[in-house]
Amino acid sequence: MSSRSLELPPPPLVPAATVRRLTLQVSRRLDGILQGEHLGHLPGLGSEAADVRTYEPGDDPRRIDWAVTARTGETAVRTTTAERELETLLVVDLGASMSFGTRTAEKREVGIAVAAAFLHLAKGPGDRVGALLVTQDGLRALPPRGGSAGAYATLSALLRQPRATGAGDEPRLAAALAQAAARQRRRGLVVVVSDLLEPVDEWAPALRRLGARQDVVVAQVVDRRERELPAAGVLRLVDPDSGREVDVATTAKTRARYAELVEERLRQQAAAVRGAHAGHLLVRTEDDWLPQLARFLVRRRRVRSGAARAGDRTAGL
């Protein structure tokens, strides 16, 4: 299992109109939803709740905030502009299982659109967004970029990535999460876009380590046909990553048991994400997920703000 950086020939160019169309579709709808609900924009997508942090050895004593220090009992320093600028890392799973889709869209297409939404939300002044792509040929790192031009370049690279076929030695999600933890030196936001279909015990420890150091959001993309077996007689199922095939008689009993196993797997995945103190957004390909994303971000902001206020009240007792 390799997480090496690869020197590959450049993929074919994606028409600029395709990138612009996806950008406009996501950004206009998301802005419209936020404004329609009187929520406005969501600045500081992953930033700390206050402009101070705990003192660390080597900090300039002139930056000590004595009022906060007296209130909390811990030495606090005012953050610099550079520290308040947010660096976001998108970890986007483009493995073979993400190429599955049925009625509405492939999981891959929805996952890229979710990434486009976070690119739009993280275009604040001074903020930068990088990406780590999980492909069948290895992990591909995209450097952090800022502004609309940076978001455009990152989205173009996502759209240019070839569809995975399941052939070759695909890197696992755990390797991507480990590399994300090593890459993000300063606390920021890491957004993981994946179907999480790899065994939970493989990626959960890496996600916990990442969550201990970073603010993490997991957008899990699922498709209805993965959750329900159709009544189709004998059905051939194929593991997209390994290529292994198995014939299944889709009796009522088999379909019911399959649904139970899928629900149990979803519960295990959700528990693993919560155990990493990460936000969890379940994105269904058949749903209109943009309003769901907006509500998720609003709840997340309120929880973080409430926790910060509670911390201040506790410290002042």
Residue range 136-186, pLDDT digits in tens: 888 999 999 888 888 889 999 999 998 887 655 555 899 999 999 988 777
Within a domain: 4: no
Q: Are residues 153 and 280 in the same domain?
A: yes
Quick check: 87 pLDDT over 90? no
The residue-averaged pLDDT of 63-84 equals 72
User: Distance between CA 242 and CA 238 in Å, rounded?
Assistant: 8
pTM of the full predicted structure?
Answer: 0.77
| Mean pLDDT score of the chain | 79
User: Which of 229, 225, 234 is CA-nearest to residue 286?
Assistant: 225
10-19, 103-112, 130-139: which is most confident: 130-139
- β-strands 87-93, 128-135 pairing: parallel
Within a domain: 261: no
User: Which of 192, 201, 155, 168 is CA-nearest to residue 282?
Assistant: 192
Say if residues 58 and 313 touch (Cβ distance below 8 Å). Answer: no
3-state secondary structure of 236: strand
Query: One-letter amino acid identity for 236?
Result: R
Q: What are the residues facing 138 on neighbouring strands?
A: 135
Where is 89: in which H helix or E strand?
strand 87-93
Q: Which of 64, 81, 98 delimits the end of a domain?
A: 81
256-287 b/e (C-beta count within 10 Å ≥ 16 → b)? eebeeeeeebeeebeebbeebebbbbbbbbee
What pLDDT, on the 0 to 100 scale, is given for residue 126? 73
Quick check: 10 pLDDT over 90? no
Query: Taking the CA atoms of the chain, what radius of gyration do you get in angstroms?
Result: 21
Range of the domain at 284: 16-41+86-223+274-315
What pLDDT, on the 0 to 100 scale, is given for residue 179? 94
Q: Are residues 100 and 57 in the same domain?
A: no
Q: Are residues 142 and 66 in the same domain?
A: no
Q: Are residues 103 and 119 in the same domain?
A: yes
Q: Are residues 124 and 182 in the same domain?
A: yes
Within a domain: 170: yes
What pLDDT, on the 0 to 100 scale, is given for residue 6? 37
What pLDDT, on the 0 to 100 scale, is given for residue 170? 59
Query: What total number of domains does the chain contain?
Result: 2
| Band (201; pLDDT cuts 50, 70, 90) | very high
What pLDDT, on the 0 to 100 scale, is given for residue 25? 75
| Band (85; pLDDT cuts 50, 70, 90) | low
What pLDDT, on the 0 to 100 scale, is given for residue 80? 55
Q: Are residues 139 and 195 in the same domain?
A: yes
User: CATH number, domain at 285?
Assistant: 3.40.50.410
3-state secondary structure of 274: helix
Longest dimension (CA), the chain: 74
The residue-averaged pLDDT of 182-200 equals 89
Q: Are residues 124 and 202 in the same domain?
A: yes
